[in-house]
Amino acid sequence: MRKRRRSLVLSSGPYRLPAELWEPVGGPAGGPEVVFVLCHGSTQKGMRHELIRYLASSLSSRWPVLAFDLPGLGRAPRLIVRGLDDYLYHEHPVAAAELAMELTGLPSVLVGHSMGGRVVLQAASRGQEEGLVVGVATLAGLYELPADPAEMEVLLADFASYVRVGFELPMDHLAREVAEARPTHRAVERLRIPLLAVEAGRETYGFIRESRYEIFRMARCPKTLILLGGADHKFKGHHRLLPDLIARWAELRLRGREGN
């Protein structure tokens, strides 16, 4: 099916973020009536990352798709971290879902890769209350941040090495706040909408391997876990499989959701 893509600006808090809306020409081609909102991971390419572009192009054959750049990444403005929520990023997918609803009249399914997976879980736990978000999918993104402040500070230093960011509070203070918050645990405990977690068998990040199954077990929502044994964290060589998995899950879990 033919599709069209248009550039937008997403207003989220103090930021104006580059965004794109991909749509099937002639309207959605069947399936649950939703819009997919894509959230990239820790990449300077932002929404132009190869995986995000492939998902947007593939899923938009049937559904509207909204992608956007997180602050400090892609073509977005510099990120300013004044507190915990600025670092956690969760307000931006909620703002994207609000824009998607405004443009299409449809609720959102949030899809996040890597860091974007953690971010959309937090966003989904908030957006579900108003019916704004009806499903969430993580791609190598089901994990908890380190509970050890020293380990968390190392991650923050790494984050600051490639993200355009300014910290207005001491990094060790922020590391303690993040470590104590356990943001993914809290988000998953609140989650009531369907969850899809696609994990990589060749995952390189230890903190993801060590926490993903515990996070999945504690979820009390309708949930699906798929482990791609040969895939690495970036799903190289598996891009073509992911849109099909997401589409099949959406058909199974989201069709007829109005009557649930």
Query: Which candidate, 162, 113, 164, places its Cα nearest to that of 141?
Result: 113
| Rounded (5°) CA angle 95-98-102 | 140
The CATH class given to the 3-252 domain equals alpha beta
Residue at token pair 């510099």: 78
Reduced to 3 states (helix: H, G, I; strand: E, B; else coil), residue 55 is helix
Indicate the domain borders of the chain. Answer: 3-252
| Per-residue pLDDT in tens (0 to 9) along the chain, 260 residues | 567 899 999 999 999 999 999 998 776 566 789 999 999 999 999 999 999 999 999 999 999 999 999 999 999 999 999 999 999 999 999 999 999 999 999 999 999 999 999 999 999 999 998 899 999 999 999 999 999 999 999 999 999 999 999 999 999 999 999 999 999 999 999 999 999 999 999 999 999 999 999 999 999 999 999 999 999 999 999 999 999 999 999 999 997 654 33
Distance CA 189, CA 22 (A): 32
